[in-house]
């Protein structure tokens, strides 16, 4: 049986790779690529996969190796890239993550509305990896769940 990993999905520059590095306890340089990166505990999906709906099939296929899917929305931007109901495409649990939660707090309601629109149920996690906000709570939630 293949090892299940946590799939991280989000638009370009929303903090996916920074989050993936934190989840893998990796402190090296960021690796940006147009390919999915299979880490020790994660699958890092490039933003272009979610920004081009014709690539959804690749995300859904790769999610067969996922224990959880993290869908990121960036609080520092007001862009919406996900199709309505997108989260319902996955068989494993889908978790909503609001990244860069320390920036532009006036956008928080928009982020919550987006997560609901794409079909992600609560709880939602608000994180800022550089400032250490919410990352430990997210790790605890993910890794306690996957150990059961």
Segment 101-120 shows an average pLDDT of 97
Average pLDDT, the chain: 92
Q: Does any domain span residue 103?
A: yes
pTM value?
Answer: 0.91
Q: What is the largest CA-CA distance in the chain?
A: 45
Q: Does any domain span residue 128?
A: yes
Q: Residue 123: helix, strand or coil by DSSP?
A: coil
How wide is the angle at C-alpha 129 spanned by C-alphas 128 and 134, nearest 5°? Answer: 60
Q: What pLDDT band is residue 134 in, cutting at 50, 70 and 90?
A: very high
CB 68: neighbour CB atoms within 10 A? 20
| Range of the structural domain that residue 64 is part of | 5-141
Q: Does any domain span residue 31?
A: yes
Q: Does any domain span residue 148?
A: no
Q: Does any domain span residue 147?
A: no
Segment 64-75 shows an average pLDDT of 96
- Give me the pLDDT at residue 145, please: 55
- Give me the pLDDT at residue 62, please: 93
Q: Does any domain span residue 146?
A: no
Q: Does any domain span residue 61?
A: yes
Q: Report the number of distinct structural domains present in the chain.
A: 1
Q: Could you tell me the CATH number of the domain that includes residue 25?
A: 3.40.50.300
- pLDDT tens per residue, range 4-14: 999 999 999 99
Q: What pLDDT band is residue 148 in, cutting at 50, 70 and 90?
A: very low
Integer Cα distance of 39 and 43 in angstroms:
6
């Amino acid at each position: 049986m293949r090892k299940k990993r946590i799939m991280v999905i989000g638009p370009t520059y929303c903090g996916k790779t920074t989050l993936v590095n934190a989840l893998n306890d990796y402190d090296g340089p960021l690796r940006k690529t147009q390919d999915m990166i299979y880490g020790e505990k994660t699958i890092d999906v490039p933003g272009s996969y979610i920004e081009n709906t014709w690539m959804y099939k690749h995300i859904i296929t790769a999610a067969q190796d996922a224990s959880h899917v993290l869908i990121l929305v960036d609080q520092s931007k007001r862009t919406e890239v996900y199709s309505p109901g997108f989260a319902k495409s996955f068989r494993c649990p889908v978790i909503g993550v609001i990244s860069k939660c320390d920036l532009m707090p006036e956008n928080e309601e928009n982020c919550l509305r987006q997560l609901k629109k794409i079909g992600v149920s609560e709880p939602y996690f608000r994180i800022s990896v550089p400032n250490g906000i919410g990352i430990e709570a997210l790790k605890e939630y993910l890794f306690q769940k996957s150990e059961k």
